[in-house]
């Protein structure tokens, strides 16, 4: 009666609140987040969340990389892994724009290691998530959402205006290009030709003015000669009475006989006299025309010279102006080309602005109704959420329950086999010795039946769980099932040998229950009372669990666990042999329907 009471008290002691010691629970923390933005807009939310988790003290977080966390979870060094993804900051920075779902923090459990770590970890992470998003409320964020809606409308209007601007800049660009081509290809060559013509005209008018000046000088010389000639003619003709001579010749002609030859001579002489008079008058007129500035010829020459000088001055001014016009046309062509380039750049910029605003308008959230606004408000109120996954879930008949079931079955099956048989028991009243052959026969019988029963139970586990367990190393799993079954058979045999059928069965069952609290497969060993923690290294199930963790997860440590399990079985078998061979009766009768054990 004492043993069950003691174990009952221990069990009651073990049923305390495990959440009081969760700060000792080793959990891997992986921060893969890449900061978003630069400068003042840089957001490194992953670092902030990681520091919040480390400072919270809710769990014993260990900041490691992904590979270390994965290996630690497989080896059972960590109860679960908390991972901050690489796009965590990017997702948070996009809230109100392209982000439509909260930034997720991934939590990875593995029920192959410990049954309750996932459920307790889930409740703890729920509280931590609340701590991360604390301070944000949907009611206050909705004001921001309304502002975002107005901003979205403004962006769409700006996108429409930028499209119109782009149309205008396209026309401006086309016009500037045409202007540049016209100036370069038509105006500049025309003004160049005009400038050349102007220079040629100026040269011609200069030559004309020079020639006319020479003409006036020649006229002066000719006038001087003509005056001298007129004076000479007058001096010669002035002493001749032309009229008297003409009258005498006329009288002579009348007096002459009607001789044609004589009359012809008189006519000729009369003509000579008239010519002398005309010569004198004409030479004087020529001299006057050449020298008198009021004369038609001389005044015309003077006016022509003056006009040619003015014409030359105007031609020179025209040539200079045409040269300046050509230079201006070239500068205008260069400026037009620059204007065309600038217009093209302006058009390209307007196109990019239009495209960017159009993309922004398309990406801007449509928040015109209360439902859409409330949806984004909820997102802003809970920008961070958690996403849990389990390498091998145990709930709802999941494959993660297989290690715990196999550990429990390898202990219960030998106990049930022993309870179906009449066990050997050490006795001080009859110290006769049992033969080794008899002992081996009974041990082989119980061990064989236990192995067969464990194999059948293992097959049932594989069929009952859905999906079926898929250990990384099936051979090692089956080897550990066999070794754990034989080890428990040996340990339970010792208890039956010492305590007998009733006390041995109760003691063995109490021992199994005690191990359920201390081996770490159900309750995390960090959460149990201090005394039970001390029992963990000496409990056989502890090493059976380590072997199954290794075989199911493919982590190191299987062979060391197997050696310890086999060693415990060998030691217990040796103790059992010593107990029954030294104290057991030689030929104790079997109970009806029972087999020796």
131: its two tokens: 């701590």
Alpha-carbon span 99 to 227, nearest angstrom: 114
Average pLDDT over residues 573-583: 79
- Does the pLDDT value for residue 242 go beyond 90? no
* 234: nearest Cα among 268, 276, 274, 271: 276
The tens digit of pLDDT for each residue in 299-315 reads 777 777 787 788 778 77
177-181, 304-308, 402-406, 512-516, range with the lowest pLDDT: 177-181
pLDDT at res. 183: 67
Unique residue bearing structure tokens 């006016």 = 303
> Do 17-136+382-390 and 145-355 come out as alike in CATH topology?
no
pLDDT at res. 165: 67
pLDDT at res. 81: 94
pLDDT at res. 67: 95
- Does the pLDDT value for residue 365 go beyond 80? no
Average pLDDT over residues 542-571: 96
- Does the pLDDT value for residue 445 go beyond 70? yes
Between 342 and 447, whose confidence is greater? 447
The tens digit of pLDDT for each residue in 453-467 reads 999 999 999 999 999
- 144 within 8 A of 378, measured Cβ to Cβ: no
31-45, 120-134, 240-254, 424-438, range with the lowest pLDDT: 424-438
pLDDT at res. 163: 64
Alpha-carbon span 447 to 486, nearest angstrom: 6
The model's confidence at residue 407, banded by pLDDT at 50, 70 and 90, is very high
Alpha-carbon span 255 to 257, nearest angstrom: 6
pLDDT at res. 143: 43
Alpha-carbon span 278 to 253, nearest angstrom: 22
Topology of the domain comprising 145-355 = Helix Hairpins (1.10.287)
- Does the pLDDT value for residue 567 go beyond 90? yes
- Does the pLDDT value for residue 432 go beyond 60? no
The tens digit of pLDDT for each residue in 181-239 reads 776 777 778 777 777 877 787 787 778 778 777 777 777 777 777 677 667 766 666 66
Average pLDDT over residues 111-125: 85
Alpha carbon distance, N-terminus to C-terminus of the chain: 25
Average pLDDT over residues 285-295: 75
pLDDT at res. 108: 94
Q: Share the mean pLDDT of the chain.
A: 78
Between 444 and 243, whose confidence is greater? 444
Domain extents in the chain: 17-136+382-390, 145-355, 399-583
- Cα distances from 157 to residues 161, 164, 354, 361, in angstroms, run 6, 11, 11, 9
Alpha-carbon span 189 to 33, nearest angstrom: 66
pLDDT > 90 fraction of the chain, expressed in percent and rounded:
25
Write down how long the chain is.
Answer: 597
- 468 within 8 A of 399, measured Cβ to Cβ: yes
Between 434 and 524, whose confidence is greater? 524
Between 150 and 553, whose confidence is greater? 553
Please state which CATH class domain 17-136+382-390 belongs to. alpha beta
What is the DSSP code string of 535-590? HGGG-HHHHHHHHHHHHHHT-S-HHHHHHHHHHHHHHHHHHHHHHHHHHS-TTPPP
Torsion 477-481-486-492 (CA) sign = positive
Between 21 and 573, whose confidence is greater? 573
The model's confidence at residue 98, banded by pLDDT at 50, 70 and 90, is low
Alpha helices in 63-137 (DSSP H): 66-75, 88-93, 117-132
Most confident of 96-100, 131-135, 253-257, 444-448: 444-448
- Does the pLDDT value for residue 350 go beyond 70? no
Alpha-carbon span 266 to 244, nearest angstrom: 14
Most confident of 16-25, 307-316, 329-338: 307-316
Most confident of 9-23, 311-325, 541-555: 541-555
SS3 state at 499: helix
Unique residue bearing structure tokens 């428990």 = 488
- Does the pLDDT value for residue 179 go beyond 90? no
- Cα distances from 13 to residues 5, 364, 530, in angstroms, run 12, 60, 11
pLDDT at res. 589: 37
Alpha-carbon span 162 to 170, nearest angstrom: 12
Unique residue bearing structure tokens 């105006």 = 187
Between 341 and 144, whose confidence is greater? 341
Average pLDDT over residues 86-106: 79
pLDDT at res. 135: 38
SS3 state at 28: strand
Most confident of 9-18, 247-256, 318-327, 568-577: 568-577
Average pLDDT over residues 402-407: 94
Its pTM stands at 0.60
The model's confidence at residue 366, banded by pLDDT at 50, 70 and 90, is low
pLDDT at res. 482: 97
């Amino acid at each position: 009666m004492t043993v069950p009471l003691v174990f009952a008290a221990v069990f009651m002691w073990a049923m305390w609140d495990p959440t009081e010691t969760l700060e000792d629970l080793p959990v891997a923390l992986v921060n893969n987040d890449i900061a978003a933005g630069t400068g003042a807009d840089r957001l490194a939310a992953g670092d902030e969340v990681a520091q919040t988790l480390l400072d919270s003290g809710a769990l014993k977080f260990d900041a490691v990389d992904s590979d270390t966390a994965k290996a630690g979870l497989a080896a059972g060094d960590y109860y679960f892994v908390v991972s901050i993804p690489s796009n965590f900051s990017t997702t948070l920075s996009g809230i109100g724009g392209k982000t439509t779902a909260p930034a997720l923090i991934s939590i990875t459990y593995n029920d192959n290691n410990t049954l309750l770590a996932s459920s307790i970890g889930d409740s703890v992470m729920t509280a931590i998530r609340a701590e991360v998003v604390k301070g944000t409320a949907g009611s206050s964020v909705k004001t921001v959402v309304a502002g975002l809606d107005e901003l979205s409308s403004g962006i769409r209007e700006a996108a429409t205006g930028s499209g119109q601007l782009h149309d205008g800049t396209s026309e401006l660009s086309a016009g500037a290009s045409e202007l540049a081509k016209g100036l370069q290809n038509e105006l500049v060559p025309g003004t160049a030709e005009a400038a050349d013509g102007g220079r040629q005209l100026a040269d011609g008018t200069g030559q004309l003015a020079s020639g006319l000046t020479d003409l006036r000088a020649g006229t002066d010389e000719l006038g001087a000669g003509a005056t001298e000639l007129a004076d000479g003619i007058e001096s010669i003709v002035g002493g001749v009475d032309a009229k008297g001579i003409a009258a005498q010749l006329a009288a002579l002609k009348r007096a002459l006989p009607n001789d044609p030859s004589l009359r012809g001579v008189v006519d000729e002489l009369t003509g000579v006299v008239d010519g002398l008079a005309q010569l004198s008058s004409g030479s004087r007129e020529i001299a006057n025309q050449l020298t008198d500035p009021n004369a038609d010829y001389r005044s015309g020459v003077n006016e022509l010279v003056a006009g040619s000088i003015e014409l030359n001055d105007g031609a020179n001014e025209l040539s200079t102006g045409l040269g300046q016009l050509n230079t201006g046309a070239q500068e205008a062509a260069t400026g037009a080309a620059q204007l065309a380039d600038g217009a093209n750049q302006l058009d390209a910029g307007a196109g990019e602005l239009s495209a960017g605003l159009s993309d922004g308008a398309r990406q801007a959230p449509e928040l015109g109704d209360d439902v859409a606004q409330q949806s984004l408000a909820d997102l802003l109120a809970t920008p961070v959420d958690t996403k849990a996954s389990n390498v091998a879930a145990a709930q709802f008949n999941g494959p993660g329950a297989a290690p715990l079931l196999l550990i429990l079955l390898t202990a219960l099956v030998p106990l049930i086999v022993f309870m179906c048989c009449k066990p050997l028991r050490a006795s001080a009243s009859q110290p006769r010795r049992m033969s080794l052959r008899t002992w081996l026969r009974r041990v082989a019988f119980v061990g064989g039946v236990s192995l067969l029963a464990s194999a059948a139970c293992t097959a049932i586990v594989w069929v009952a769980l859905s999906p079926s367990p898929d250990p990384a190393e099936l051979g090692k799993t089956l080897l550990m099932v066999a070794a754990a079954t034989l080890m428990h058979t040996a340990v339970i045999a010792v208890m039956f040998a010492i305590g007998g059928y009733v006390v041995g069965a109760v003691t063995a069952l109490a021992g199994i229950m005690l191990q359920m609290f201390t081996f770490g497969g159900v309750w995390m060993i960090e959460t149990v009372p201090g005394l039970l923690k001390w029992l963990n290294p000496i409990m056989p199930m502890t090493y059976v669990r380590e072997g199954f963790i290794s075989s199911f997860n493919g982590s190191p440590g299987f062979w060391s666990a197997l050696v310890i399990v086999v060693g415990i079985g060998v030691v217990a078998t040796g103790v059992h042999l010593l107990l029954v061979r030294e104290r057991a009766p030689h030929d104790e009768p079997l109970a009806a329907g029972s087999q020796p054990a």
